[in-house]
């Protein structure tokens, strides 16, 4: 037999491939594919009467992986557990350690962690191996059991009161409540009219506008056209005199490098990425991209709420900035960013593993999405290490018979970090022409304009993640899964990148809030996160945390079972359609993925079909247009009578039928104007498209 290799166990095969490249033949690098040991799905598996002892099992389908790891362990004297450096990773390592100790009691099993997948970081982690951190394991165990108790207690309640297949979760349900409450605000919002008055001036070749802010020393608030006309008549024909010019210098400090939530927010608002997609692409960049010679990890660990940056990384960034820009683009001292009070500092901020791997150099090795996210991370990090930007700001007040109009200008004196940073456009220049106090200006126009107050916007991925972060709900690693779960359960839908609750989501939320208002409060959820942090820090016993929660919670569940009204069948709706197989009426039902049609003769007849959008446009066909999927899961819309009728279109039909013939209409852009066009050739009706998409409705016949 040859010399035993040291065994390194990571979570993913991609990461294993990258690490194996660095460690060479002396090491065997294997993947656990994530958790191998967990609670079974079929039952609670928590002994609540015995200090909440969990009944762990090997996850179905993972037994073969565990057996292979045991065989490798029997050939190894040194075993390094290199799962991700967070609570989940610590728990994965803990369970693997317990299993491998039985397979090879003589092996030395150690935990290693690293913030980036580079040769230096991995070898340093092996040199600084440690024991399993049981405080982190207990924090993960407490969270897992807590969520299991909540989910396995509330979900059956929803099955009993609404319909089978629903789920509730400790954090998931709070997120749903927030989205539903925002929708209620929007629905109950009453727009208020207000008016503004602006003057336009030109001096030389530059034109600029100034807004009326004060009248006779009082801040202007114009609530009606009559008030606007009265002010206009007073100031319109008066002399406009430059009353005051205030110039100041403003410094804007460089932005902090990304934390997980800030990366998700930036990718959502600037790239249009859902949170789930952001994390998936970031995982690829972290685990390794094939670059000449093999896989290379391009970014540091992407689940972090720390803004700390390693000294070596700061030195590398300074060298890059000095070589590619100049010394003046470096701050006098390296920029330091303070973490929030509840931030876990196990990892650095998200940054490129080498600042010298520029996006331009990586372009040929990355997919479009990988390149866009890598560019975002690279630019944010380099900008974070640069000098502040300096602006000259000008505020000009222009007087006209007691009215004060104001305009603001801004000029970049030194671009600093803006050399590489592309933010939200707030730092764009607006240069005013040279003005002097006391000079008279001739307005090109003085106009009034009506406005209406707007309701609060629906949440997007970016704004919902920001809300989670600011409210202390969940952890950075849980933000994307929370959103994904709400969409998968059909509690919310994404419309124009905004989240809107469905009828099912609103109904579920109403029922939950009636009985579990405290549990679903932001404060309770935030406090629970803080207590789980105390467990992770070794300051609180995990069993005590569960005891404090369990008994009041179970009492509220039992009370809800008795008092809550049943809403069974409320989502079902009779239709005028008949089953093509047995002739009985079809029922509009709500399933896991939205509404569909099912035969009322169930279970004798199990016929179902997608919810139709409208009548088939083919002459003589009595079918309906329904959504279908290609083999690659792309949606198209075809006749329910296929293959007898082969009508299809890639364009999503409007929920409203053609007012002339009742067939389907699709939205098309004609000469820059969106119009709804009937798909029946003999009709061809064109009407203006509505601004807002409507929910799909069943076409009655």
pLDDT, tens only, 663-686: 888 888 777 778 888 888 888 788
273 and 343 in a single domain? The answer is yes
Label residue 269 exposed, middle or buried (CB < 10 Å: 0-12, 13-18, 19+): middle
pLDDT in tens, 145-154: 999 999 999 9
346 within some domain:
yes
580 within some domain:
no
pLDDT in tens, 96-147: 999 999 999 999 999 999 988 888 999 999 999 999 999 999 999 999 999 9
User: Residue 554: in which H helix or E strand, if any?
Assistant: helix 542-563
591 within some domain:
no
485 within some domain:
yes
Pick the last residue of a domain from 384, 405, 440.
Answer: 384
CATH code assigned at 402: 2.70.20.10
Cα Rg for the chain, rounded, in angstroms? 31
pLDDT in tens, 526-555: 999 999 999 999 999 999 999 999 999 999
119 and 56 in a single domain? The answer is yes
557 and 634 in a single domain? The answer is no
- Write out the residue range of the structural domain in which residue 268 sits: 260-384
Q: What value does the mean pLDDT of the chain take?
A: 90
11 and 126 in a single domain? The answer is yes
Residue 125's region, left for phi above 0, alpha for psi from -120 to 50, else beta, is: alpha
Q: What is the DSSP letter of 267?
A: I
pLDDT in tens, 580-625: 788 899 898 887 667 888 999 988 999 988 888 888 888 888 788 8
Half-sphere exposure in the Cβ direction for 579 (13 Å, CA) = 20
Beta-carbon contacts of residue 375 (< 8 Å; ≥ 6 apart): 359
C-alpha torsion sign, points 131, 135, 137, 140: negative
147 and 172 in a single domain? The answer is yes
Pick the last residue of a domain from 365, 384, 403.
Answer: 384
Decide if 569 contacts 558 (C-beta within 8 A).
no
Q: How confident is the model at residue 448 (pLDDT cuts 50, 70, 90)?
A: very high
283 and 349 in a single domain? The answer is yes
358 and 305 in a single domain? The answer is yes
Decide if 471 contacts 149 (C-beta within 8 A).
no
475 and 540 in a single domain? The answer is yes
CB under 8 A, 24+ apart: contacts of 504-508 = 504/162, 504/166, 504/571, 504/590, 505/176, 505/179, 505/180, 506/180, 506/183, 507/162, 507/567, 507/570, 507/571, 508/158, 508/162, 508/166, 508/168, 508/176
Pick the last residue of a domain from 548, 563, 578.
Answer: 563
Half-sphere exposure in the Cβ direction for 231 (13 Å, CA) = 28
Label residue 14 exposed, middle or buried (CB < 10 Å: 0-12, 13-18, 19+): buried
Give the N- to C-terminal CA distance of the chain in Å, as an integer. 79
Decide if 297 contacts 353 (C-beta within 8 A).
yes
Pairing of strands 240-252, 289-291: unpaired
Q: How confident is the model at residue 280 (pLDDT cuts 50, 70, 90)?
A: very high
Q: How confident is the model at residue 1 (pLDDT cuts 50, 70, 90)?
A: very low
47: β partners: 53
Q: Look at the block and give the residue holding tokens 């993972």.
A: 62
Closest listed residue to residue 620, CA positions, set 657, 645, 655, 643:
645
16 and 110 in a single domain? The answer is yes
Query: Residue length, the chain?
Result: 701
Helix (H, G, I), strand (E, B) or coil at 50: coil
240 and 338 in a single domain? The answer is no
267 and 295 in a single domain? The answer is yes
426 and 360 in a single domain? The answer is no
CA distance 162 to 167: 11
* 314: pLDDT strictly greater than 50: yes
289: β partners: 296
581 within some domain:
no
CA distance 652 to 667: 8
323 within some domain:
yes
pLDDT in tens, 623-645: 888 888 888 878 899 988 888 89
CATH code assigned at 511: 1.10.460.10
523 within some domain:
yes
pLDDT in tens, 476-529: 888 999 999 999 888 999 988 899 999 999 999 999 999 999 889 999 999 999
Q: And the tokens for 469?
A: 């972060």
648 within some domain:
yes
Closest listed residue to residue 289, CA positions, set 369, 218, 350, 209:
369
- CA 161 to chain centroid, in Å, comes to 31
The rounded percent of the chain whose pLDDT value lies above 70 is 96
Q: Give the pLDDT confidence score for residue 701 in this predicted structure.
A: 30
Label residue 149 exposed, middle or buried (CB < 10 Å: 0-12, 13-18, 19+): buried
Pairing of strands 193-203, 294-296: unpaired
| Domain count along the chain | 5
* 248: pLDDT strictly greater than 60: yes
Catalytic residue annotation: 301
């Amino acid at each position: 037999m040859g010399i035993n290799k040291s065994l390194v166990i990571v979570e993913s095969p991609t990461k294993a491939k990258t690490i194996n490249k660095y460690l060479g033949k002396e090491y065997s690098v294997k993947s656990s594919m994530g958790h191998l040991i967990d609670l079974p799905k079929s039952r609670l598996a928590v002994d609540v009467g015995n200090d909440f002892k969990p009944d762990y099992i090997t996850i179905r389908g993972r037994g073969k992986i565990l057996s292979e790891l045991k065989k490798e362990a029997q050939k190894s004297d040194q075993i390094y557990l290199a799962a991700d450096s967070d609570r989940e990773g610590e728990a994965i390592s803990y369970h693997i350690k317990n299993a491998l100790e039985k397979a090879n009691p003589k092996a030395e099993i150690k935990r290693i962690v690293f913030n980036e997948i580079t040769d230096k970081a991995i070898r340093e982690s092996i040199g600084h191996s440690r024991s399993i951190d049981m405080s982190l394991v207990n924090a993960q165990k407490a969270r897992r059991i807590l969520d299991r108790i909540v989910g396995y207690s509330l979900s059956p309640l929803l099955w009993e009161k609404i319909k089978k297949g629903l789920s509730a979760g400790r954090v998931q349900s709070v997120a749903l409540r927030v989205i539903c409450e925002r929708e209620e605000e929007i629905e109950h919002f009453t727009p208020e009219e207000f008016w503004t008055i602006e003057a336009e001036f030109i001096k030389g070749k530059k034109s600029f506008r100034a807004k009326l802010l004060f009248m006779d020393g009082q801040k202007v608030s114009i609530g009606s056209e009559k008030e606007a006309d009265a002010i206009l008549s007073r100031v319109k024909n008066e002399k406009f005199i430059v009353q005051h010019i205030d110039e100041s210098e403003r410094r804007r400090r460089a932005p902090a490098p990304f934390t997980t939530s800030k990366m998700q927010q930036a990718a959502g608002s600037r790239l249009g990425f859902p949170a789930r997609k952001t994390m998936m692409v970031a995982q690829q960049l972290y685990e390794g991209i094939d670059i000449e010679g093999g896989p290379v990890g391009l970014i540091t660990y992407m689940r972090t709420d720390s803004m700390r940056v390693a000294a070596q990384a700061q030195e590398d960034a300074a060298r890059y900035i000095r070589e590619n820009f100049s010394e003046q683009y470096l701050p006098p001292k390296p920029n330091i960013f303070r973490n929030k009070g509840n931030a876990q500092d196990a990892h650095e901020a998200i940054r490129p593993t080498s600042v010298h791997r520029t996006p331009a150099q990586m372009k040929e090795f990355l997919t479009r999405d990988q390149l866009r996210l890598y560019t975002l991370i690279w630019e944010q990090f380099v900008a974070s290490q640069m000098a502040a930007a300096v602006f000259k700001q000008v505020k000009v007040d222009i007087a006209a018979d007691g009215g004060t109009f104001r305009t603001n200008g801004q000029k970049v004196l030194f671009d600093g970090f803006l050399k590489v940073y592309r933010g939200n456009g707030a730092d764009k220049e607006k240069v005013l022409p040279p003005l002097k106090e006391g000079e008279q200006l001739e307005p090109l126009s003085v106009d009034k304009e009506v406005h209406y107050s707007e309701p609060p916007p629906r949440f997007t991925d970016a704004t919902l993640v920001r809300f989670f972060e600011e409210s202390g709900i969940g952890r950075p690693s849980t933000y994307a899964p929370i959103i994904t779960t709400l969409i998968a359960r059909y509690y919310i839908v994404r419309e124009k990148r905004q989240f809107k609750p469905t009828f099912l989501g609103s109904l579920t939320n109403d029922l939950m809030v009636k009985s579990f208002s405290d549990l679903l409060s932001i404060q309770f959820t935030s406090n629970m996160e803080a207590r789980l942090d105390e467990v992770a820090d070794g300051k609180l016993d995990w069993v005590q945390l569960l005891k404090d929660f369990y008994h009041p919670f179970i009492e509220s569940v039992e009370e809800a079972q008795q008092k809550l009204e049943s809403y069974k069948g409320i989502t079902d709706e009779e239709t005028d359609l008949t089953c093509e197989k047995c002739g009985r009426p079809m029922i509009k039902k709500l399933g896991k993925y939205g509404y569909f049609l099912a035969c009322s003769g169930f279970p004798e007849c199990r016929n179902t079909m997608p919810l139709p959008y409208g009548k088939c446009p083919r002459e003589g066909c009595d079918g309906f247009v329904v959504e279908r999927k290609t083999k690659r899961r792309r949606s198209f819309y075809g006749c329910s009578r296929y293959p007898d009728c082969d009508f299809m279109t890639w364009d999503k039909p409007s929920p409203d039928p053609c007012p002339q013939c009742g067939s389907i209409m699709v939205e098309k852009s004609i000469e820059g104007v969106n119009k709804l066009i009937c798909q029946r050739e003999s009709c061809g009706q064109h009407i203006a498209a509505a601004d807002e998409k409507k929910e799909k409705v069943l076409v009655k016949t």
